[in-house]
Amino acid sequence: MNIIVLLKQVPSTETMIQIAGDGRSVKTDDVSWIISPYDEFAVEEALRIKEKQKGGIVTIVSVGGAKAAEAIRTALAMGADKGILVNDPATAGCDGLGIARILSTVVQSLPFDLIIAGQRAVDDENFLVGAAVAEFLKIPFMSLVIQEEIADGKITCHRTIEGGTAVVSSPLPALFTTQRGLNEPRYTSLPGVMKAKKKPLDIKTLTDLGLDPAIAATPLMQVISLKFPEKRKAGKIIDGATLADKAAMLAKVLHEEAKVI
Amino acid sequence: MPQDILAIAEYGNGVFRKVSYEVLSEGRRLADTLGVKLLAVVLGNDIQQIAPKLAEYGVDRIIAAEHPLLKDYLSETYTQVAAEIIRKEAPALILTGATTQGKDLAACLSARLYAPLASECIAVRIENGKTVATRPMYGGKILADVRLDAAPGILTLRPNAFATRKTAGAGQIEVYPVSLEPPRTSCAHMQMDTSGKVELTEADVVVSGGRGMGGKDFSVIEALASVLGGAVGASRSAVDEGWRPVSDQVGQTGKVVSPNLYIACGISGAVQHFAGMQTSNVIVAVNKDPDAPIFSKADYGVVGDLFEIVPRLTEEIRRLRGDSQ
Asked if A221's CB is within 8 angstroms of B148's CB, the reply is yes
Query: Is B112 in the same domain as B67?
Result: yes
Higher pLDDT, A158 or A92: A158
CA distance A153 to chain B (A): 13
Examine the fold and report which residue of B142, B176, B210 is the final residue of a domain before the chain moves on.
B176
Domain count, chain B: 2
Report the range out of A159-163, B75-79, B190-194 with the highest average pLDDT. B75-79
CATH number, domain with residue B82: 3.40.50.620
Cβ under 8 Å to A: B residues 177-206: 184-193, 197, 199, 201, 205
Residue A197: what pLDDT? 97
Q: Is residue B273 part of a domain?
A: yes
CB A253 within 8 A of CB A236: yes
Cβ under 8 Å to B: A residues 219-238: 219-229, 232-238
Query: Is B12 in the same domain as B129?
Result: yes
Q: Is residue B237 part of a domain?
A: yes
Q: Is residue B181 part of a domain?
A: no
Q: What is the mean pLDDT of residues A137-152?
A: 97
Residue B179: what pLDDT? 94
Query: Is B74 in the same domain as B166?
Result: yes
Looking at beta carbons, which residues of chain A come within 8 Å of B181?
none
Query: Is B60 in the same domain as B148?
Result: yes
The ipTM is: 0.95
Residue A232: what pLDDT? 87
CATH number, domain with residue B308: 3.40.50.1220
Q: Is residue B21 part of a domain?
A: yes
Residue B192: what pLDDT? 82
Q: Other C-beta atoms within 10 Å of A101: how many?
A: 21
Please name the residue of chain B whose CA is at the shortest distance from the CA of residue A39: B253
Residue B24: what pLDDT? 98
Q: Is residue B194 part of a domain?
A: no
Say what percent of chain A tops pLDDT 70. Answer: 99
Task: Please spell the DSSP secondary structure of chain A, one letter per residue.
Answer: -EEEEEE-EEE-TT----B-TTSSSB--TT--EEE-HHHHHHHHHHHHHHHHTT--EEEEEEE--TTHHHHHHHHHHHT--EEEEE--GGGGG--HHHHHHHHHHHHHTS--SEEEEESS-TTT--S-HHHHHHHHHT--EEEEEEEEEEETTEEEEEEEETTEEEEEEEESSEEEEE-TTS--PPPPPHHHHHHHHHS-EEEE-TTTTT--HHHHT--SEEEEEEEPPPPP---EEP--SSHHHHHHHHHHHHHHTS---
Query: Is B167 in the same domain as B229?
Result: no
Looking at beta carbons, which residues of chain A come within 8 Å of B312?
243-244, 247-248
Mean pLDDT (chain B) is: 94
CB A137 within 8 A of CB A111: no
Residue B269: what pLDDT? 94
Test the B interface: residue of A14, A36, A135, A253 with most B CBs within 10 Å: A135
CB B39 within 8 A of CB B60: yes
Contacts of B297 (CB under 8 A, 6+ apart): A232, A233, A234, B269, B274, B278, B283, B285
Q: Is residue B141 part of a domain?
A: yes
Asked if residue A123 has pLDDT above 90, the reply is: yes
- Is it true that the peptide bond before B152 is cis, omega within 30 degrees of 0? yes
Asked whether the CA dihedral A24, A25, A27, A29 is positive or negative, the reply is: negative
Query: Is B122 in the same domain as B31?
Result: yes
Higher pLDDT, B198 or B220: B220
Query: Is B90 in the same domain as B34?
Result: yes
Nearest to A216, CA basis, from A78, A110, A66, A94: A94
Asked if residue B195 has pLDDT above 60, the reply is: no
Residue B58: what pLDDT? 94
Query: Is B226 in the same domain as B109?
Result: no
By the CB < 8 Å criterion, does B72 face chain A?
A: yes
Say what percent of chain A tops pLDDT 90. Answer: 91
B153-192 pLDDT, tens per residue? 999 999 999 999 999 888 789 999 999 989 999 998 888 8
CA distance B36 to chain A (A): 23
Q: What is the mean pLDDT of residues B244-272?
A: 93
Q: What is the mean pLDDT of residues A119-135?
A: 97
Asked if residue A240 has pLDDT above 60, the reply is: yes
Query: Is B172 in the same domain as B275?
Result: no
Query: Is B59 in the same domain as B205?
Result: no
Query: Is B60 in the same domain as B95?
Result: yes
A195-236 pLDDT, tens per residue? 999 999 999 999 999 999 887 768 999 999 999 998 888 899
Asked if residue B316 has pLDDT above 60, the reply is: yes
Asked if residue A68 has pLDDT above 80, the reply is: yes
By the CB < 8 Å criterion, does B325 face chain A?
A: no
- Residue A13 is nearest to which of B72, B142, B252, comparing CB atoms? B252
The residue ranges of DSSP E strands in chain B, in sequence order, are 5-9, 11-12, 15-16, 38-44, 61-66, 93-97, 117-121, 123-127, 130-137, 142-148, 153-157, 173-176, 186-192, 205-209, 231-234, 261-265, 282-287, 300-303
By the CB < 8 Å criterion, does A166 face chain B?
A: yes
Asked if residue A189 has pLDDT above 70, the reply is: yes
Nearest to B101, CA basis, from B73, B66, B64: B73
Query: Is B38 in the same domain as B70?
Result: yes
Q: Is residue B191 part of a domain?
A: no
3-class DSSP state for residue B172?
Answer: coil
How many angstroms separate the first and last alpha carbons of chain A? 56
Q: What is the mean pLDDT of residues B237-243?
A: 96
Per the structure, the complete domain to which residue B292 belongs is given by 200-321
Q: Is residue B250 part of a domain?
A: yes
Asked if B188's CB is within 8 angstroms of A254's CB, the reply is no
